[in-house]
Chain A
């Protein structure tokens, strides 16, 4: 007989009530939370905006109360850095740190802790990784995502939220969606699931996001909380509620194919609300790697680009332009963005934004760089292009660099240089590697890696992971 699983769908006048009801339908959280246990809740806190960009604190409060009633010794709430933005800064910005502490939860920031090395040779892409110590040592960890569409993965739910537990360096590995080089973003997420699957998934679907998720979409009020022990199943049901077909979104389907959960709705039993009573047709996200969606005034010249590498921040950039930067674009048009390997040469030499290591190094001998135009005050002129290094450049660094490029010309964007006061990490894998080399290729091109082994070895890697003796170095030129 085929294996089946159960997902509860609950509503309520607020999230706390809905969370409690969701677990009532499942027979109580005591099935998973034992007296004296240590529980870790992992929400999605990807920005300093509110819901539905991030998990609402009431879901965490509801879970905290349930865990404590079940006799949990300690309830932790943990999060990692997102694109270089430190979780401590994010939490303080939105007031979650103080609120969770007052509740009695322990707040853990994974990037401030030790990492534990884990390997799984059967994995398809990410065969080893570093996990937060507090998560590994917890008796139960619960993934608490918020339901959103996503430009690269159709939707970002529990499986993708699990990816957020990885150290930054591991996050960047195989993130670029280059299956021709054996690097698949989607398989990578399932690899993480294979190593560190959450014991429970609780989906915040009270307010969900449609359109240009995960950061620039629109709010859809659903008033639902979903819960289940099968992360894949909870994701599949959430996808269905968002209007996608059975087994249509790739992540739950792939997870089922690899035996890591059930995505087929015909094998899922629903408790509580009937999903057909709540199903809505969400507007899907459109990725920025697709030409034709560029806003007027911006010309994105794409070379050979990793779809979920530089493709994703390019799409975020386009969304941000469309939402609030239309005035700057109108005044400065045309702005040229170069991205990917060997992009077409720009026609206009002014206001060129060179995005990512591939674009920087492959356009090294282009006209705009050899004979640059100059902009800025006549007594302090600067070249009319700016390099945004990184593989992939971090979100806040590209906002900062773009503001630098158009300072004095674009008023609205120049005000966003305020982000430099948010303490972001700035990293790139490729410091020290000769500029004419393409640093991203060593990740998945074994011949390139062999040829430039010495330079790659000498390149400056982020140190914090490798200082820990319990960690093993992985893939570093070997």
Chain B
């Protein structure tokens, strides 16, 4: 039960302590600076975390947050039970209920039937106050042992990335062995359960071979709200301190751009992205409100919300250093020349439907695709995605050990043979893509580097990107059947990359006003002509 105390009870009690003070509008004391995040060894700012939970949990878990926790080992129910009480969205208390075994058994039986009203009646009588429950969760203490193990691994490895993978493994195992059961499942947990069932044959530990323990190109994420701000980043010197507050003092809201600037300075990371909490929360709430797997209809609205979020650059989110494509002087210049590029005008009306229908038209309503991940010609894993009506229905992760690694020359032939081998193993793949992880890492480095935000250094970025793009045409990225890509290549060659790019911009962004229905480029020609004339006159004068 030590693990239970360490990884679950004490962290929640810490959150309850600060939450009570916030709910009663009391000032937090020096003991309330940091808390331990439940289920982990990680610390986080107390006030900001409590406020984050208060503002997000009702949307993610439902309007009733009070819940009962029962402990069960096999068929035995273990006392005590725990009652989590909330007020105004804040977790204010965790009551221990010392109940006899038969009572616990009765509560468990009622939970399985999701008979919350009966449970409420019984518990209300016990605690002598009214109660409205959202759910009951039954936990096997084995779950905490697994968390303990993952936590100890983290202390020795000091790798936050691998700790996250271990936690994912723990939750996956908890779902498979029913170490955590919800009656009924609140929306967020229901989606997580459904997601974990969507991924078959997947051992999260395999991700450790793909994702390095210390990812290069460090990156921070921040959340801002009128009442608090919170930032998440990798801190190699103190990896357990994953969340920090940019503004430890109570109150004071930072805009996303100010927050991103400060976050980057404070964390020393290469890039910082900050979001306003509200639009992000609304997007996630929209997503978790529909059962998985999502199809066209369920994806339309969240996709629209995502595009609207992206549109809100500067207001709803910001990034520091600001990449060239988002610099305001560049955006102003493109508008001056009437190029259809303005992130605030990303087309949320047509893009979602076009993308989703385009997927169905392109690969069919039901298809399967293989993404083979290579590293130095060694197969690290194969991701098989099953799509149904434009949504991802299943994800299968294969080790690929049975498939021979690529040989030179003629890797397309190898990919063809791999696709046929997968046909026998995992069903027909519409498309197979093999990608070398070194290519992805190079792309990541290029986009996270200083060149991406500096005009003077941008030519180097273009060279780097040009080199990376040329690798897409070589063995580090192969696609089969490749006739579609070949056709696309011929099309780009014939039309010209600039023309295609311009048309894609026209398709992706809204225009200020409708295109004239008469002859094209008349106004642009006149403007260009006047500019040239003015230039000549100035030249002559000077």
Contact A381 B487 (CB under 8 A): no
Q: Which residue of B lies closest to A411 (CB)?
A: B506
A207 in contact (CB, < 8 A): yes
Chain B residues, CB < 8 A from A351: 517
A453 in contact (CB, < 8 A): no
Chain B residues, CB < 8 A from A221: 366, 388
A293 in contact (CB, < 8 A): no
CA distance A327 to B346 in the complex (A): 13
Contact A94 B481 (CB under 8 A): yes
CB distance from A94 to the nearest CB of B (A): 7
Interface size bracket, B side: 35 or more
CB distance from A413 to the nearest CB of B (A): 10
CA distance A46 to B308 in the complex (A): 38
Q: Which residue of B lies closest to A422 (CB)?
A: B487
Contact A52 B517 (CB under 8 A): no
**Contact residue among A14, A207, A327 (Cβ-Cβ distance under 8 Å from B507):** A327
CB distance from B349 to the nearest CB of A (A): 8
**Contact residue among A54, A323, A327, A377 (Cβ-Cβ distance under 8 Å from B521):** A377
CB distance from A76 to the nearest CB of B (A): 20
With known contacts A49-B361, A221-B388, A415-B503, A207–B520 Cβ distance under 8 A: no
Contact A50 B481 (CB under 8 A): no
Q: Which residue of A lies closest to B510 (CB)?
A: A327
CA distance A238 to B519 in the complex (A): 53
Q: Which residue of B lies closest to A329 (CB)?
A: B350
Interface residues of B in 442-458 (CB under 8 A from A): none
Chain A residues, CB < 8 A from B315: none
A458 in contact (CB, < 8 A): no
CA distance A381 to B350 in the complex (A): 29
Chain A residues, CB < 8 A from B506: 411
Contact A218 B365 (CB under 8 A): yes
CB distance from A418 to the nearest CB of B (A): 4
**Contact residue among A323, A330, A422 (Cβ-Cβ distance under 8 Å from B361):** A323
CB distance from B293 to the nearest CB of A (A): 12
Interface residues of A in 364-390 (CB under 8 A from B): 374-378, 381
Contact A331 B364 (CB under 8 A): no
Interface residues of A in 180-224 (CB under 8 A from B): 207, 209, 216, 218-219, 221
B253 in contact (CB, < 8 A): no
CB distance from B345 to the nearest CB of A (A): 13
With known contacts A324-B361, A409-B515, A57–B366 Cβ distance under 8 A: no
Contact A95 B481 (CB under 8 A): yes
CA distance A450 to B31 in the complex (A): 103
CA distance A327 to B484 in the complex (A): 24
Contact A418 B487 (CB under 8 A): yes
CB distance from B438 to the nearest CB of A (A): 27
Contact A50 B367 (CB under 8 A): yes
Interface residues in chain B, defined as those with a beta carbon under 8 Å from any beta carbon in chain A: 347, 349-350, 353-354, 357-358, 360-367, 388-389, 416, 419-420, 423, 427-428, 430, 480-481, 483-484, 487-488, 490-491, 495, 500, 503-507, 511, 514-515, 517-522, 525
Interface residues in chain A, defined as those with a beta carbon under 8 Å from any beta carbon in chain B: 14, 48-54, 56-58, 89, 92-95, 98-99, 102, 207, 209, 216, 218-219, 221, 323-324, 326-327, 330-332, 350-351, 374-378, 381, 408-409, 411-412, 414-415, 417-418, 421-422
Pick the 3 closest A-B CB pairs, nearest first.
Answer: A50-B364, A219-B365, A411-B506
14 A-B pairs with CB atoms under 8 Å apart are A49-B360, A49-B362, A50-B365, A50-B430, A52-B365, A54-B364, A94-B430, A221-B366, A327-B347, A331-B514, A350-B517, A378-B520, A378-B521, A412-B354
